[in-house]
Each structure stands twice: as structure tokens, then as C-alpha cells.
Amino acid sequence: MKKILIIEDEKVLSEMYKFKFAKEGYEVLSAMDVEGGLALAKSEKPDLIILDILLPKENGITLLEKRKDIEEISNIPVIVLSNFDDNLTKTKAFSLGAKDYLIKSNFDPQEILNKINTYLND
Amino acid sequence: MTLAQIFPLVSGIFVFLLGLLVIGKNYKSKSNIYFGLFCLGTTFWLIGTYMMFGAKTDAQAIFWDRIIYIGGILNPIFIYHFGLYFLELKQNKWILRIGYSLAAFFLIFLWTDYFASGLYKYSWGVHTRAGILHHFFLVYFIAFMMMFFFDVIKELRKTTGIKKFQIKYIFYALLSMMIIGGPAFLPAYGIDIYPFSYLSGAIFACIVAYAITRYRLMDIRIVIRSLIVYLLVIITFEIFLLGSSFVLDNFFRYKTDATFFAINSSYLILVLLLFTPVKDFFTRLVNKYIFKSLYSSQQAIEKMSKESTSIIDLNKLLHLIVNTLKDYMGLSRMGILLFDKETRNYSYKVGKVVGFNIDNGISLVRNNYLIEKLIETKKPVILQELEAQLKNSNTYNRETIADIKKLIVHVKRIEASLCLPLIANNKLIGVIVLGEKNSNEAYTKQDLELLEIISSQAAVSIENAKLHKEVEDFSKNLQKKVHEQTTDIREKNEELKRLLDARSEFLSIASHQLRTPLAAIRGYTSMLKQGDYGDFNNDARTSIEYIYDSSVRMIELVNNLLNVNRLEKGTINLNVKDVSVNQIIEECIEDAEYSAKNKGILVKYVNSKNKLPLIKGDYEKIKNSIGNIINNAVLYTVKGKVEIRASVDNESIKVEVKDTGIGIEKEDIDKIFKSFSRGKGGAELYTQGTGLGLYIAKSFIEMHGGKISVYSEGKDKGSVFTIELPLKSTIENNIISQ
């Protein structure tokens, strides 16, 4: 069973994605912030990370930066899923190795799931 | 020499010179000629008197007394004749013929005993005895003098102005001469009376000189000045001669002719040497105390014309005019009022004044009677003449007198003696206001001539300076206005920028914050719709569809607002990758299919024969643009079909979206690509549109170096939207650095 880590502070959304992804047969882990997310990523070694950008304390970009320096998790693919639609951030995220940058409101959970499936099966 | 001799001698010289000058000044003027002749007659009398007092023998005394009588005989007819010309009266030839005949007759018989014979001896001197003809002479003398006085008195009542004063002084001069000189005939009849008559010559001369200077009599002021100067020079040398001969007589007793001749000769040399410096000295003295206002008008005009042409500054010019006139004419007060264009109401502001108390009325000149008069007559208004007219009020009707009085009040209110209009282009542009002269003298004809020349010159210069000032003020004003407006615009611009920043900030925050709950609504309803939470009955499913569609529409609206905001801020960037336009079209059709099916509209994609190549571009933005056009086509088509064609040539990919919809009216075609702007028919059919979609589509396509255009035959004729995207991208230039 493949593991997906969702780092999302908005509980309504993280529950929604968790429900959808779990229904599809993924093991879904969730964290509320960068610190918790990194800890979970290190301990659980998920197959994919779904990352929000606007998070309490530190933002998603910081996680991407830290991830690069932690060898054990540096290869885990990351899909950014955020409503923060800023070109600079988007570019930065791609340069730090994000696979995709999706705007939450523009996709149904099913569409996101389709993308996850694609990435995980590649 | 006695005092009785000095008076007649000095007066005699003065009167003689006066006569010569009066004739010399204007030998064509009859009144000048006859006045001159009268002076000549008077000279005979005065010089005769001087000589008679010094006569050593009876024969000499009789001779000189006869010389005196030449004046006595000639003067009545000359003065009478002068009076006729001076008063401009009708002349009776017979009276004049009789007069001159009698004078000639007496002149001939003067030298006989019938006129005078023998001497009466008095304590003060001698006098001839009157002969038989002397009686007739007296009748003739009195008759012509009376006729003269009769004319003078009659005219004095009628005449006004300066002329009246002139007549008056002529009258005084001759009356005093008659009263004092008249008794001179009494000793001829053995009546012992001291001949004060010689004083009359001096008094006559003084009165006439006064009238000449004060009332422009004969217009020989300048000449009179010279005359007075020479007279003073002569008197000075005379006194010196008398003094020296007194000293010689009393202390040295040099009585021989030889010494006398030597002294006289050396004295003559002394006079020649000292003449010029003494003359200059008296000229200065006379100018300073007697003829302060007698200036060289030529000099004043020259100064004015030379300096005024080089001055363009209005204030400096006014300064020059005021000071020149004030100095040259010796004025107590002098000012220039200028027509005030700003108030337009014929008010005059003080240009420059010297000596006036501004609070006393000169600053208050409005469109009053005085100004009207100046505009009407374009001639100077002279207080003195007005007052003279008023004194002679019986010759005017009541209305004229009231006018004169009114004018006097106005002139006095501004403390003026003379108001001179400044005329330029036949319009009154101002008034030169003159106070009285320091010397208290009247304004002369020469003054007026000078003033008129200077005022016309000044008017032109002032007008030029005013124009210059106006242009200068205008440009200053303009500069100030431009500065004000620029500042205003800058401030407004900054305010606008601040507002725009605030708006985009608000939009950005609001949009981001809106997206999270919208994502939740969309996400959960999509899952409900897809049966993740089990089945629903049809009504519930429909409701869920509605909620889902609404949330998607709302998300699109938010996205559009964000995009517009970015476009306007210029902060939008392209995320450039290899893009398949074909794929985008297919995805867009897929998205639109659902609502098209619901409306019963066919969406048809006619693919190009040539396979569409990949291009460099921002996938999302191109999709947004093409999707927008296709969605619109479905949205604004009630029935029929939407046909999409894609083609490629050497330069670009062309996507054509043709519908059978409501079409676009001509006047709307230009504005549908503008933000917040919609076609009329569109707004009727689909009320939820924001008018942002096409604006964003156009902006995105243009960012790719492409073009978007529309063609419609009009209302209900359908439309064709065409998007062209270049194969060779020019995007690099358009990317805002990331």
C-alpha cells in the first residue's frame, strides 16, 4: 500500500483529500505544519507528499528547501497543492523539485487523485 | 545821478526792451506790434524824464520835456489800437484815422510854442508851460485812453479763462500808469506837484511782466527771463558805477576829463570781462527763484523720448515720466493713473504718484465726470481755467455752470491742477495728474504744448509696457497654472496609485481567502456528485450539480479577478512549456460539452489536415483563452452549433470558433475586449457575465505575441472569434523576470 503524506493546515480540506485518497486505497498521513510534515516524512518515508504553501510558522517552500538537504527524503516526489497562486513561489517550487503546482480550487479531489495516480505509476 | 533819474532810466530800458521783444517774438501779430509801439512811446517818455532831470540848461530841459511829450502823444492812439487787436474788436477806420492824424498834428506842433513854451521852475526841477495846443492834446489824450478803458472793461466782463486774466492785468498796468502818470501834466499849468509819474513806468513794467509770466501774456516768458537777467546785470554794473563814481567824487576829487575817461575806459573793460560770469550768475538766480518752472521743453522731450524707448518695464517707465515732468516743470505733485483692466469698470489705479496723499482721493478715481470729460474732449482739464470760467459765470447757461462746478469738484478732490488724458489707439488708457507748480505760476501755453507731446509719447510707451507686462503676467500665470495643475495631477495620480494598490491588495487577499472555502465546497460536492458518499435521489443529485456548478463559476470569477488584477499590475508571468494547441482545444471542448448538450447545441471540431505543431507557451493561459471563447460561443448560442477549426500555416496556428449565436452589434465590437465591458445582447441573455473573460483572453494571447479578433454580421447573425498564435514565439521578450 502506497503512502501519501498530506501537509495541510486547513482541516476541512485535509480531511476531504484524506477521505478521497484513502478510498482509492492509499495510506494517508497528515501533518499540520512543516515541522510535523518533515518528521513524518523522515519516519514514515511516504511515496508522495502533497504540500500546501501557506502554513503556520514556516511555509511550504521551506520544506522543499530542507527536503533537499535530508538525503533520506530528498527523492520523495512533492506535489504542491495550494491556493496561493503566485508566480515567483510557483517558479521557486519547481526549481526546488516540486513535480507540480496545483491550485486547490481549480481541481476536484478526483482530478488530483488522477494526477497522483499518474505520478505514482510512472 | 538821483533816485528820480534811476527809476525812469531803468524802467525806460526795461520797457524799451520789452517792446522790442514783444514785437520780435511775433512781428506778425498786430497786438504785439502795437504793444511794442506803445512800449516805444513809453520809452520816449521815461528816457526824456531821465534826461530832463539831468538837464543843465533851460533849453536842454525844454528839449527833453518835448521828447517826453512824444510818448504822451503817441501812447493814446497806440494803446487804443493795441486794445482793438488784443480784445479782437471791430475797428472803426475813421476813429483810427482821426487818432493818427491828431497824433501826427501834435507831433509836428510839439516843437512850436503853440504846444509848449518857456519853463515853470519848481523846487524839484522844471516843467514846460502848456501852450494852446496842449489843451487839445489833453482832450485827445483823455478821449483815446477812455475809449481804450471802455473797451477793456466791456471785454473783461465777457471774456473767460486765461485771456480774462491777461486783460485784467493790462487794465491794471495802464490804469496805474494813468493814475500815477496823469498828474504829470499838471506842472505844465503851473501847479506844483512832485512828478511821481516816473514811478508809473516801473509799475507798468512790473505789472506787465507779472502778467506775462503768470498769465502767458504775449507768450514771451522765456524772453522775459532773459530780459530780467540782462536788467539785473545792467543794474549791477550801474550800481557799481555809481558807487565807484561816488567814491571818486568824494575821496579822490579826480575831476579832470582825462582821469574820468581813463576810469570809464577801464570800467568798460571790466564790464566786458565780467559780463558773462555775472550774466550766468543771474540766470541761475532767476531760474531758481523766479522762473523755476521755465524749463527747456526741448530738453524734456528729448530726455523722455530717448529714455522711454529703452524702458519696457511699466513701473520704471511710469517712474521716468513722473520724475521727468515733475523735475522739468517744478511741480509739487505729479501722478499717473492707469485704466484698470482687471476691474473693467473704468476704474483707475495709481501707476505712480509723487507728492500726493494717496488716501486723499487720487486712488479713488472711477468712471466719474472728469474721466468722461477727458474721454470726450481728449484735451487737458485745467483747474485755473475752470475757475476763471466760473468767475465769469454770467456768460454761461445754468447747465454749463453746473458742469464746470462739477468738474472743479472732481479735479479738486484728487488735488489736481491739471489733468492730462493719456490717449493710445484713440482710447483713454490713463490720466496724468499734475499738482500746482512750486512757483505757484499758471500753466503756460508752452507747458501745455510740452505736456501734450509728452503725454502722447508716454501713452504709446505705457501701452507698450502694459502689453509687455500683460504678456509677461500671462506667461507667469500660465507657468503657475501649469505648475498647480501638474502638482494636482501628481497628487491625484499618487492617490489613484494608492487606491489601485489598495484595490489589488484587497482583491489578492480576498481571492486567496475565497479560494479555500470554495475549494472545500467544490471538492465535497464533486465527491457527493461522484457517489463517494453513496447514492442520492434525483432531486438531491440535481441540487448537488447546481451547487457544484455554482462553486465552479464562483472559482472562475475569482480566478478572473485575480488575473485582471495581475494584468493591470503587470505582475503576470508566463509559465512557458511545449504546448499542444490541439490538446487544449480538445480539453476545452470536453469542458464545454456538458452545458452544450444541455442546451442542445452541437460542438464540432474540424481538425486541420496538417497536424498542429507544438508551440512554446503557457498552457494554462492559452487554455483559459481558447476555453473562454468556446464557452462564450456555447453560452451565447440559443440554438444551432459551435464549430471550431484549427489550421496552421508558415507563421501561425489559427483557431476559429464560429457560432450561430446572438451575434455582436457593430458598436459593441470595439468594446467587448475591454475589461468589465460586455455586448448588449450578451448581458440580456446571460446575466452573470462579468465582462472580464475576453479581456483576459486577449491579454493572454497578446502576451504570447498572438492576436484575437472577432467578426459578426450583427445581431442574431452569429460570430466568429479567431485566435492566432505564432509558431516562432516572441514570448521571451514578454516574460517578466521570475
> If you average pLDDT over residues B530-551, what whole number do you get?
90
- Is B620:A101 a contact under the CB 8 Å cutoff? no
Residue B730 banded pLDDT, cuts 50, 70, 90? low
Which residue did the predictor score with more confidence, A16 or B1?
Answer: A16
Specify the 3-state DSSP secondary structure of B235: helix
The reply to whether residue B523 touches residue A87, judged by beta carbons under 8 angstroms, is no
B178-199: pLDDT as tens digits: 887 777 788 888 888 776 666 7
- Which of B184, B151, B143, B162 is closest to B42 using CA atoms? B184
Each residue of B670-680: b (16+ CB within 10 Å) or e?
A: eebbebeebbe
Q: Among all residues of chain A, which has the CA nearest to that of B515?
A: A105
Mean pLDDT of chain B: 80
Residue B734: the pLDDT is: 46
Q: Identify the weakest region by mean pLDDT among B109-118, B608-617, B726-735.
A: B726-735
Residue B736: the pLDDT is: 39
Neighbours of B708 (CB within 10 A): 22
Q: Which residues of A touch B516 (CB under 8 A)?
A: 10, 13, 83, 104-105
Q: Using DSSP, how many helices (H) and how many strands (E) does chain B show?
A: 22, 14
B138-187: pLDDT as tens digits: 899 999 989 989 988 888 887 766 677 778 878 888 888 888 777 778 88
Residue B102: the pLDDT is: 92
Q: CB-based contact (8 Å) between B519 and chain A?
A: yes
Alpha helix locations (H) across B290-435?
A: 297-308, 314-329, 369-377, 383-391, 398-413
Instruction: Tell whether the model's pLDDT for residue B255 goes beyond 60.
Output: no
B434-447: pLDDT as tens digits: 888 776 677 877 77
Instruction: Tell whether the model's pLDDT for residue B269 goes beyond 50.
Output: yes
> If you average pLDDT over residues B196-220, what whole number do you get?
66
- Which of B79, B61, B141 is closest to B106 using CA atoms? B141
Q: Which residues of A touch B559 (CB under 8 A)?
A: 105-106
Q: What is the DSSP letter of B88?
A: T
> If you average pLDDT over residues B627-636, what whole number do you get?
90
A33-86: pLDDT as tens digits: 999 999 999 999 999 999 999 888 888 999 999 998 888 898 899 999 998 887
Residue B737: the pLDDT is: 34
Residue B263: the pLDDT is: 66
Q: How far apart are CA B671 and CA B676, in angstroms?
A: 9
Count the residues in chain B.
Answer: 738
The reply to whether residue A13 touches residue B530, judged by beta carbons under 8 angstroms, is no
Q: How far is A32 from chain B (nearest CA, A)?
A: 15
Instruction: Tell whether the model's pLDDT for residue B346 goes beyond 70.
Output: no
Q: Which residues of A touch B523 (CB under 8 A)?
A: 13, 16-17, 20, 104, 108-109
Q: Is B531 left (phi over 0), alpha (psi -120 to 50) or beta?
A: left
Q: Identify the weakest region by mean pLDDT among A66-80, B450-464, B514-528.
A: B450-464
Q: Which residues of B touch A85 (CB under 8 A)?
A: 512, 515, 562
- Which of A108, A7, A104 is closest to B527 using CA atoms? A108
B5-40: pLDDT as tens digits: 677 787 788 788 888 877 877 777 888 888 888 888
Instruction: Tell whether the model's pLDDT for residue B408 goes beyond 50.
Output: yes
Q: CB-based contact (8 Å) between B573 and chain A?
A: yes
B304-317: pLDDT as tens digits: 777 777 777 888 88
- Is B461:B311 a contact under the CB 8 Å cutoff? yes
> If you average pLDDT over residues B590-601, what whole number do you get?
86
> If you average pLDDT over residues B404-420, what whole number do you get?
84
> If you average pLDDT over residues A98-109, what whole number do you get?
92
- Output the pTM of the full model: 0.45
Instruction: Tell whether the model's pLDDT for residue B284 goes beyond 80.
Output: no
Residue B655: the pLDDT is: 92
Give every CB contact of residue A99 below 8 A, 6+ residues apart in sequence.
Answer: A77, A78, A79, A119
Q: How far is A1 from chain B (nearest CA, A)?
A: 20
ipTM of the complex: 0.93
Instruction: Tell whether the model's pLDDT for residue B97 goes beyond 80.
Output: yes
> If you average pLDDT over residues B51-58, what whole number do you get?
81
> If you average pLDDT over residues B355-364, what whole number do you get?
63
The reply to whether residue A105 touches residue B519, judged by beta carbons under 8 angstroms, is yes
Q: Among all residues of chain B, which has the CA nearest to that of A90?
A: B575
Residue B733 banded pLDDT, cuts 50, 70, 90? very low
Residue B625: the pLDDT is: 92
Q: What is the DSSP letter of B100?
A: H
Q: Among all residues of chain A, which has the CA nearest to that of B571?
A: A87
Residue B213 banded pLDDT, cuts 50, 70, 90? low
The reply to whether residue B527 touches residue A17, judged by beta carbons under 8 angstroms, is no
∠ at Cα B219 (B218, B225), nearest 5°?
Answer: 110
Q: Which residues of B touch A103 (CB under 8 A)?
A: 515
Residue B290: the pLDDT is: 59
Q: For an interface test with B, which of A105, A107, A108 has the most B Cβ atoms less than 10 Å from its Cβ?
A: A105
Count the residues in chain A.
Answer: 122
The highest-confidence range among B372-376, B508-512, B642-646, by mean pLDDT, is B642-646
Instruction: Tell whether the model's pLDDT for residue B341 goes beyond 50.
Output: yes
Neighbours of B171 (CB within 10 A): 19
Q: For an interface test with A, which of B511, B518, B521, B524 has the most A Cβ atoms less than 10 Å from its Cβ?
A: B524
The reply to whether residue A13 touches residue B571, judged by beta carbons under 8 angstroms, is no
Q: How far apart are CA B621 and CA B700, in angstroms?
A: 6
B609-622: pLDDT as tens digits: 678 888 888 888 99
In what side-by-side order are the strands of the sheet with B427-434?
B348-354, B334-339, B427-434, B418-424, B381-382
Q: Which residues of A touch B558 (CB under 8 A)?
A: 105
Strand B614-618 and strand B576-580: the pairing is antiparallel
